[in-house]
Amino acid sequence: MQRCASPLLKGMTVCIEGPPGLRNAVSSSPDFWTILHALHPVPTAAPQVFQIFEDLAESPTAGVTADNYEQFMLLANAFATAGSIGAGEEQKRDRESRKGKQGKAPKVKQLEEVERGKKALAAVYKMTSRVPDFIQQSHFEATEAWNAFWSPIFRVLTNQCLNPCREIRHQAFNSLQRSLLSKDLASPDHKEWTKIFEEVLFPLIQRLLKPEVWQQDPVGMSETRVQAATLLCKVFLSYLVLLSEWDGMLELWCRILGICDRLMNSGQGDNLVSLHNGYVFNLILLTMHQEEAIPESLKNILLVMSDSGYLVPPDKNLDKVELWNETWKRLDRFLPDLFGELFPEEAKKPRSSLSSRPKQAEVAQQSRSSKEQEKAEVSQQA
């Protein structure tokens, strides 16, 4: 197949550039995608394979369809992964920069692979605007629609947020943020979109915290952790109103605080001894940035939650007492001064009075529940 790759791909290109009916028939064939997956790693064939990929991505009608959507995403991910070869050149330039030397220009092949990877991610993000049409045409249930059309996009982008090449990683993070904040993603009519935390953001951050991922690019991955924490807070804040109507908000909020705790304490002090002296200063600066960026993001969320009436002292709203107590119980573990900074008047009160609030709230809740039960019994008898 590799020996006859050029004429084979030329023939496939002619079909793809032909009438819409022919293009759809060819691009829906499993063999078509098998050939592309087999030939994209071949250096001489990669440009032709990518040209076919781009032609399909740019076609508004007869290109990417529900039938080949998954295969399209897999090929995009493969091109982006191939761009990881650029990490070696980036780290080489880092070493030369520390030595005070001018970095050499990267090899042409590496630049081509990185550029193809970035364009592939741009094509993946472009698909977000077509997802609503795909869902409408498919008539899937909410869960099936999410799994069929949103999940593949987020799988590609989160995979590439761990790419050793910083250019690819930066492109993936930008696309992921824009996708997560897309107006077409969230809806009050269904809650499938809440999977962006459980299936996208939480797994991504957990993988970023792994030492073997950090070692791929010690300086760059430290910055990526800060970006991930900031993105998590930004997404939560963006969907705060919709999340407040969801039964799982408190659990979600507690998990976010727990992850921020881990990120705050994920310094690389243990790894500094294994690095050259040139890395140490950069890592110290990045760790300081990490310790500043996360509290600022959390502070912004807390202030918005407070102004919006979601996070209020127990004596003002007994319904919010659990959220109040759980928030400060967790924040006290890694940001003990934040409570006094944001709520100086509440900080003056003894904590014992705060801890007694849940009991009052529990009594009030039980009272309301008993009244509702009485009403239901009366209604049933009637």
Beta carbons within 8 Å of 357's beta carbon, 6+ residues apart: 314, 315, 318, 321, 324, 325
Task: Please check the confidence at residue 370 and state whether its pLDDT lies above 90.
Answer: no
Report, as an integer, the average pLDDT of 136-157.
Answer: 93
The residue ranking higher by pLDDT, 16 or 373, is 16
Q: Which two tokens stand for residue 108?
A: 């042409």
Burial level of 216, CB count in 10 A (0-12/13-18/19+)?
Answer: middle
Q: What is the pLDDT of residues 220-263, one digit of tens each?
A: 888 898 899 999 999 999 999 999 989 999 999 999 999 999 88
Question: What is the distance between the alpha carbons of residues 170 and 162, in angstroms, rounded to a whole number?
Answer: 10
Task: Please check the confidence at residue 357 and state whether its pLDDT lies above 80.
Answer: no
Of 208-212, 242-246, 269-273, 370-374, minimum mean pLDDT range: 269-273
Taking residue 42's Cβ as centre, other Cβ atoms within 10 Å add up to 14
Q: Are 224 and 231 within 8 A, CB to CB? A: no
Q: With bands split at pLDDT 50, 70 and 90, how would you rate the model's confidence at 378?
A: very low
Q: With bands split at pLDDT 50, 70 and 90, how would you rate the model's confidence at 160?
A: very high
What pLDDT score does 287 carry?
55
Question: What is the distance between the alpha carbons of residues 83 and 118, in angstroms, rounded to a whole number?
Answer: 8
Q: What is the pLDDT of residues 183-203, one digit of tens each?
A: 889 888 888 899 999 999 999
Question: What is the distance between the alpha carbons of residues 336 and 351, in angstroms, rounded to a whole number?
Answer: 13
What pLDDT score does 374 carry?
52
Share above pLDDT 90 across residues of the chain, in percent, rounded to a whole number: 59
Mean pLDDT of the chain: 84
Report, as an integer, the average pLDDT of 276-300.
Answer: 66
Report, as an integer, the average pLDDT of 134-138.
Answer: 91
| Predicted TM-score (pTM) of this structure | 0.83
Distances in Å between the Cα of 295 and the Cα atoms of 209, 304, 341, 369 are 18, 14, 12, 38
Q: What is the pLDDT of residues 13-59, one digit of tens each?
A: 999 988 988 998 999 999 999 999 999 999 999 999 999 999 999 98
Q: What is the pLDDT of residues 290-331, one digit of tens each?
A: 567 889 999 999 999 999 999 999 888 788 899 999 999 999
The residue ranking higher by pLDDT, 275 or 12, is 12
Q: Which two tokens stand for residue 66?
A: 């529900």
Question: What is the distance between the alpha carbons of residues 96 and 173, in angstroms, rounded to a whole number?
Answer: 27
Q: With bands split at pLDDT 50, 70 and 90, how would you rate the model's confidence at 369?
A: low
Question: What is the distance between the alpha carbons of residues 212 and 208, in angstroms, rounded to a whole number?
Answer: 9
What pLDDT score does 376 carry?
55
Report, as an integer, the average pLDDT of 259-270.
Answer: 72
Q: Which amino acid is at 69?
A: Y
Task: Please check the confidence at residue 360 and state whether its pLDDT lies above 80.
Answer: no
